[in-house]
Amino acid sequence: MAKIVVAFVCGFIFGFGLVVAQMTNPEKILNFLDFAGAWDASLAFVMAGAVITAAIGYRLAWRAKMPLFDDSFHLPQKTHVDARLVGGAVLFGIGWGLVGFCPGPALAALSFGGWEAAMFVAAMVAGMLLFDRFSTRIPQFVSAASPRAR
């Protein structure tokens, strides 16, 4: 039960952080990515604040043998850079640059972003399901690329 409460609180703090930082405004993301235009560096400050805080927080968390409400830390096991990682990042980057939404801000914008946010999230969910289908239909691809990092 505590584990579930923590998940809600963390989702809430995360969403609040996104909206406070205005990352839920696609225009602000596009302006960060527009190095040749009226560049808005805000996103770099969001990343710096988040990365430094998480880097300290993780090191404190890992002093314990296990998390408070679970038996182990669930960390990704893959360590080498492969074509699947780079290919996925390329496709994601194109979609991100087209609209100015990545997954977190898109979900957070659902509550005030009107039909545009809803349509984007629906397409994003479809894209995720499509990848699941694609990766299970092509076994060589899965064996080369999985196991799914957790």
Minimum CB distance to other proteins, residue 114 (Å) = 8
Which listed residue (126, 138, 139, 144) binds other proteins by CB under 8 A? 126
Supply the minimum distance, in Å, between the C-beta of residue 143 and other proteins: 15
Tokens of 147: 């196991």
First and final C-alpha spacing in the chain: 22
Site residues for other proteins, window 48-67 (CB under 8 A)? 48-58, 60-62, 64, 66-67
Rg of the chain (C-alpha set): 18
Contact between 144 and other proteins by CB under 8 A: the answer reads no
93-100: long-range pairs with CB below 8 Å, 24+: 96/29, 96/33, 97/30, 97/33, 99/26, 100/25, 100/26, 100/27, 100/28, 100/29, 100/30, 100/33
Question: Closest distance between other proteins and the C-beta of residue 57, in Å?
Answer: 2
Q: Which of residues 66-125 bind other proteins (CB under 8 A)?
A: 66-70, 72-76, 78-81, 84-104, 106-114, 116-117, 119-125
